[in-house]
Structure 1
Amino acid sequence: MKDTMRGEKQRAAGWFYELRDTIVAEFERLEDSHQSGPLSDTDAGRFEVTETQRASSDGSDAGGGLMSVMRGGRVFEKVGVNVSTVYGTLGARAQEAMAARKGLPGMKEDPRFWASGISLVAHMQNPHVPAVHMNTRMFWTPHGWWFGGGSDLNPAIEYDADTEHFHHQQKVHLDRHGQLYYPKFKAWADEYFYIPHRHRARGVGGIFMDDHCTGDWEEDFSLTQDIGRAFLPAFVPLVEKRRVQDWNETDKEAQLVHRGLYAEYNLVYDRGTKFGLETGHDANAVLMSLPPLAKWI
C-alpha cells in the first residue's frame, strides 16, 4: 500500500525536532541566568545528547532519535527532552491493543506503523519549582493517523497562582482553534493523570489529548503545534519566580515523596511508557521520565 502521507510525516517529525532545539536552548539559558539564590554558585548544567535506536525483531532499520538529559544543574536536578521517529511493524500484542482501542481491525493484515514525537520531563532542584511533563506526537498506520499530547504541572508545594498561570497559557493557545478544546482537554488530563490506587491526581493538571483526528491534517497539526508552543510561556515564568526561594528539609521531603507518586504513575499507568517498552525503543529513553531521587513513606 502506497504511503500518501510521506510529506506530512516529514513535516511533523521536523517540527518536533525544532521544538526540542528551542526547549533545550531555553533550559540552558535558565541554568546560565540563575545568578542568585540556592545553588547559584554551582556550575550551570548542560545537556548530554545520545542517539537512540529502536530494536526490530529482524535487525532492520526501525528508526530512533535523540535523548537529551541534563543532571545536577543549578535549576534542574534532572530533565530529559527526547525526540524520536520510529517505524516498522507492530507485534501481536500491540496489534490487538491498537485494534481494540482505535477500532482498526485491519492492523492484523497490515501492521505497519510510524510514530514521531517529543517527550519532556523536568525534575527540579528547588522544591518550590514544580516538576513538569510535556509531549506531542503523531502516529500513522495504513488504516489511519492521529495526534496526541499535552502538558501537566506536578508541584510538590502547590501555589494557586502558579496553577492559574499554567492553565491560562494552555487556554490561550488552545482557544486559537476553538473555545471547546481547553475545557475538553483539561477534563481529559484530570481523568488521565489520576492515580487510582492513591485516589488522587498526580499533580494540578493541564491538558491532554489522544487519538485526535478530525480528518483535517493541517488543522490537527496546527493544534498540536500550539500545544507545544504553550509549554515554555506556561512553565518558564514559574521557574524564574520560584528558583530563588530558600528551602528546608521539610520542603525537600515533600518533593521526594511527591516524586515517588510520579514514578508510580509512570511505571503503572502511562501509555507512552508501555508503548515504548513493548515496541522495542531504547529503555533508557523510555524511562527518562523517572526522577533521580524519590521517597516512599
Structure 2
Amino acid sequence: MMTAEKDRASTWFRDLRDQIVAAFEALEDSHHAGPFAEADAGRFEVTQTTRHSDDGSDAGGGLMSVMRGGRVFEKVGVNVSTVYGTLGVPAQQAMAARGVPGIEDDPRFWASGISLVAHMQNPHCPAVHMNTRMFWTPGAWWFGGGSDLNPCIEYDEDTAHFHATQKAHLDPHGDEHYPALKAWADEYFYIPHRKRARGVGGIFMDDRNSGDWEADFALTQDIGRAFLPAFVPLTEKRRTQPFSDADKDVQLVHRGLYAEYNLVYDRGTKFGLATGHDANAVLMSLPPLAKWV
C-alpha cells in the first residue's frame, strides 16, 4: 500500500505550501514603493477543504489558501490536498485509456499534491502556475507536475531566468530531464482553439514512474524547490513599474486565455471536478477579473 511513501509525499507537499505562503506574504510586506504600495499588505485566508465519497464517508481533503486584493497579488491560491476513495466510472475509464494497470478491476485511488496559481496586480508582473503531485492506485503509482510562466507583457530576460532556474534544479537528476520536460510543457500548455501557447512555457511531466520511487520523488521535490527562486525575483523586479490602462487591458485579455485553458483542457481541473473535490478549491485557478475581445 506504500503507506510510508504516501506519508512522505503528502508531508512534502504541505511543507512546500508553507514555504510558498510565507514567501508570498513577505513579498506583500516588502512592497513599499510603486503601484499599490499604499494598500494593506495581503494575507492568505485559509479554509479546510473536504471530500466525501458517494456514501458520505470521509475521503480526505486539504487546505485552500487564497489571498485577494493585496499589494502585489490580485489573487493567488496555494492549495494542498490528500484525497482517496474509489474512482467514478468516467475517471476510471479515463485512467484505463491512459494505460493504468488494473484500474478497470480495482478503482481505488489515493492522490496528494500542491497546486498554485498567482494573478498579479501589476501587469508587468507575470502570472504563474505550479503544481506537483503523487497518484496511487493498487496497480501503479506516479508523480506529475511542473510550473509555467504566463506574462501578459513578455520580457525575454524574465523568460530566460525562469527557464534557467528550472534547468539548474533538474540537471543534477540527468541532463535529459530539462529539455524533455520543457518540450512537454510546450505541448501541454497549448490552446488549440487559439493556436497559441498560454504563456512562455516552463516544465511539465505526468505519469512519472521510472520504477525507482526515491529517484522520482527527488525529481518531483526539485521541481517544487525551483519554483520560488524562478518566480520571486521576477516579481521583485517588476512590481514597482508604472503601467497604463492599456497595459491593464492587455492583462485582462490574457487572463481570458488562462481561464479558457483551465476550463476546457486542464487535466487537473477535470479530475478534481469529476472526483467530487471541493469545487471552489478546484476552480481557485480562475482569475478574479478577465476580459474577452
Normalising by the residue count of structure 2, what TM-score does the alignment of the two structures yield?
0.99
2:169 pairs with 155, 166, 173, which one? 173
8 A Cα contact 2:169 2:222, kept in partner: yes
Q: Secondary structure at the match of 2:78?
A: strand
Matched, 1:192 2:188: yes
2:8 pairs with 7, 11, 21, which one? 11
Question: Displacement, 1:108?
Answer: 2.4
2:239 is matched with which residue? 243
- Unaligned stretches of 5+ in structure 2? none
Q: Distance in 2 between matches of 1:19 and 1:131?
A: 19
Q: Distance in 2 between matches of 1:296 and 1:110?
A: 44
1:276 is matched with which residue? 272
Question: Displacement, 1:102?
Answer: 2.6
Question: Displacement, 1:103?
Answer: 3.9
8 A Cα contact 1:55 1:282, kept in partner: no
How many residue pairs get aligned? The number is: 293
Q: Distance in 2 between matches of 1:109 and 1:221?
A: 27
Question: Displacement, 1:176?
Answer: 1.0
The code of the aligned residue for 1:49 comes to: V
2:74 pairs with 77, 101, 110, which one? 77
Question: Displacement, 1:36?
Answer: 0.5
Question: Displacement, 1:39?
Answer: 0.7
Q: Distance in 2 between matches of 1:102 and 1:21?
A: 34
Question: Displacement, 1:110?
Answer: 1.1
Report Cα offsets for 1:25-51 as digits up to 9, x if no partner. Answer: 000000000011111011000000000
8 A Cα contact 2:100 2:139, kept in partner: no
Q: Distance in 1 between matches of 2:187 and 2:135?
A: 22
The code of the aligned residue for 1:67 comes to: M
Q: Secondary structure at the match of 1:7?
A: helix
Report Cα offsets for 1:184-240 as digits up to 9, x if no partner. Answer: 000000000000000000000000000000010001000000000000000000000
Q: Secondary structure at the match of 2:70?
A: coil
Q: Distance in 1 between matches of 2:8 and 2:202?
A: 26
Q: Distance in 2 between matches of 1:294 and 1:178?
A: 40
Q: Secondary structure at the match of 1:62?
A: strand
Question: Displacement, 1:56?
Answer: 1.2
Question: Displacement, 1:55?
Answer: 2.6
Q: Distance in 1 between matches of 2:186 and 2:268?
A: 17
Question: Displacement, 1:54?
Answer: 1.2
Q: Distance in 2 between matches of 1:55 and 1:256?
A: 36
Matched, 1:57 2:54: yes
Map 1:123-134 to 2 at 5 A.
123-134=119-130
The code of the aligned residue for 1:88 comes to: G
Question: Displacement, 1:272?
Answer: 0.2
Q: Distance in 1 between matches of 2:58 and 2:99?
A: 26
1:25 pairs with 2, 12, 22, which one? 22
Question: Displacement, 1:109?
Answer: 1.8
Q: Secondary structure at the match of 2:58?
A: coil
2:113 pairs with 117, 130, 143, which one? 117
Q: Secondary structure at the match of 2:253?
A: helix
Once structures 1 and 2 are overlaid, which stretch shifts more, 107-116 or 133-142? 107-116
Q: Distance in 1 between matches of 2:91 and 2:262?
A: 19
Q: Distance in 1 between matches of 2:289 and 2:52?
A: 29
- RMSD across aligned positions (CA): 0.5
1:266 pairs with 231, 237, 262, which one? 262
Q: Secondary structure at the match of 1:102?
A: coil
Matched, 1:94 2:91: yes
Matched, 1:152 2:122: no
Q: Secondary structure at the match of 1:252?
A: helix
1:255 is matched with which residue? 251
Normalising by the residue count of structure 1, what TM-score does the alignment of the two structures yield?
0.98
1:206 is matched with which residue? 202
Matched, 1:45 2:31: no
Report Cα offsets for 1:110-132 as digits up to 9, x if no partner. Answer: 11000000000000000000000
Q: Distance in 1 between matches of 2:189 and 2:99?
A: 20
Q: Distance in 2 between matches of 1:108 and 1:169?
A: 40
Question: Matched residues, percent identical?
Answer: 79
Q: Secondary structure at the match of 1:107?
A: coil
Matched, 1:294 2:290: yes
8 A Cα contact 2:100 2:140, kept in partner: no
